[in-house]
Structures are given as structure tokens and as C-alpha cells.
Amino acid sequence: MTTTYRRKPTKGELRRQKMEELVVYPFDWLEERSGLIGGVRYFLFRNVPSDINWMQTLGSAALTAFLVQAITGVILAMYYVPSADLDPHTGQPVAWESIVNITDHLTMGWLVRGMHKWGASVFIILMFLHMGRVFLFGAYKYPRELNWIIGVLILVMGMMEGFTGYLLPWDQTAYWASVVGINLNGTAPFLGPWLAQFLRGGQVVSGYTLTRFYSLHMLVIPGAIIGLITLHLYLVIRLGVTSPPWSKDAAGGEPEEEEARQLRPGLTRPVPRPAGASPMQAEPGGRE
């Protein structure tokens, strides 16, 4: 550590130095043994195009909605009982009763259950909006094709999560929506009837269906979603986010002109550029 002082460091400055070293020490320890701190620093301080748009916050908004679902779901699982058997005292299905218990009797149970129920809708809406934004920006093109495919898979998984979760309260809407949904799969040629019976756990929707859907809803699909989201985020960090395509100052410049001019002469107005200039040079009087 070489610091040049014009005079000897004061006691105060020495103490300050020692404090800084102390704070930084655990991070350095972790970084030397894992490289994680460097990864986090790269994630936080990487550059993104300077003209990005509010529409581009939809992806992280969807992630927030998913986190809300995950956390509220974990808490709800501590009180929900996935059993279609009848409670001998009240004659009502146990699963239904546990939902009524959460909603009516447990402190703030209604809030956590409500957040989970409406968080599902918000999550799906945000995914569709995010998908629409990516489509509008053409951000599914090279080199982001794989990321688009992963995104579509996350959307499908999210809707499957909604479908399996819908059965859990075991009320009339839940039961019959699941009957129809499973029979829908059953109409697929050849394997349809087998798939439907596998999903149901038998020939009719029963307690086995409820526990099966619970396992899918809690373990299988969330695992898949988390894995896919991780891949999705990794690719976003690696490949970078695009500038809005209509931006005058888009990162990477505007090479499409050349293609456009050759394909459709006269339809686009080429931007006059000094010959040989690279789009990387800042335009005179432009942004910093």
C-alpha cells in the first residue's frame, strides 16, 4: 500500500485507514477463496447503454413478482394442508378448511394469501408485458435467440404454476377448472388419455390429484422456473441489454441503414455521415 502524504499521517488518518482495512477484510477473504465478490461487483458496476427506457424495467418487475410468490408461498405452505379428506368434526374437506383458516382466523393470513393470489395474476401480466417489450425492441435477434426461448419456457412454466395452484383451495371453482383442464390434455391424440390419467393420479380427480398438484406446484415447477430464471439472467448479463431501437443514440450505432438502403431504395432517408467515420464517435454537440 503506497500512499504519498505530504506529511506524516495523523493518528486520525491512521485510525481511519485501519477501519477501512477492517471493513474490507472479510470481502477480500471471501473474494480470494471464491471469486464471488468480483462477480457481484461485475454485475453491479457493468455498463448498460445510456439511453435505456422505463419499459426495460418490466423484466426485473416480473422477477420481483416471482419473489413475492416464492416467499408468500413458502409461508402459506406452513399452514395449508393438501388433503381432500373430510374433517370428521365439520364434514368439510381439510384442505378447504385450512384455506378458510388462513383467510379468516390466522393473523395477517388474509394478507399473505391475498398477496399470493393476486401476485400470480400480476406475475403473468408482467411476463406478457415484458415479452411484448422484448418483441417490440427486436431483442430476440442475434445473439439473444436462446434467451428468448428460455423466456417463453418461463412463461409456460408460470402458467402451469398458476394452473396447479388453482386446485389447492379445493373449492368448486378449483375442482371443476382442474377437471376440465386435465381433460383438455386428455384429448391429445395417442398419449392424451395416459397423460390425463397420470395428472389425475387415477380415473377421477381425487385426493391423489390434490397431492400430486401440490408436489408439482411446490417443488417441480418452481425448481424449473428458478433454474430457467438463473440462465435467463446470466444471459442478460453476458449479452447486455439493447438500446431502444428508435433511439438516436443507440449503442452500437445504426448499421441497418446499409441493408435498408440496398433492399428498399428510396424508402429510408440515410443519415449523412462523413465517409469512414465510425458510429462509435460521439456526434458533435451530442451527449457526454
Stretch 162-221 residues interacting with other proteins (CB under 8 A): 162-163, 166, 169-177, 179-190, 192-194, 196-198, 200-208
Query: Closest Cα to residue 169, out of 218, 108, 102, 99?
Result: 99
Please select the residue that binds other proteins; options are 12, 265, 276, 285, rule is CB under 8 A. Answer: 276
What contacts 283, CB < 8 A, 6 or more positions away? 249
Cα 151 from chain centroid? 9
Q: How far apart are CA 164 and CA 22, in angstroms?
A: 50
Examine residue 17 and tell whether it contacts other proteins (CB under 8 A).
no
Query: Closest Cα to residue 51, out of 282, 251, 228, 201?
Result: 251
Q: What is the footprint of other proteins within residues 36-65 (CB under 8 A)?
A: 43-50, 52, 54, 56-58, 60-61, 64-65
Closest approach, Cβ 11 to other proteins, in A, equals 22
Closest approach, Cβ 20 to other proteins, in A, equals 19
Examine residue 245 and tell whether it contacts other proteins (CB under 8 A).
yes
Q: How far apart are CA 112 and CA 42, in angstroms?
A: 35
Please select the residue that binds other proteins; options are 86, 106, 223, 234, rule is CB under 8 A. Answer: 86
Examine residue 2 and tell whether it contacts other proteins (CB under 8 A).
no
Q: What is the footprint of other proteins within residues 95-134 (CB under 8 A)?
A: 96, 99-100, 103-104, 110-111, 113-115, 117-122, 124-126, 132
CA distances from 65 to 61, 72, 105 (A): 6, 11, 26
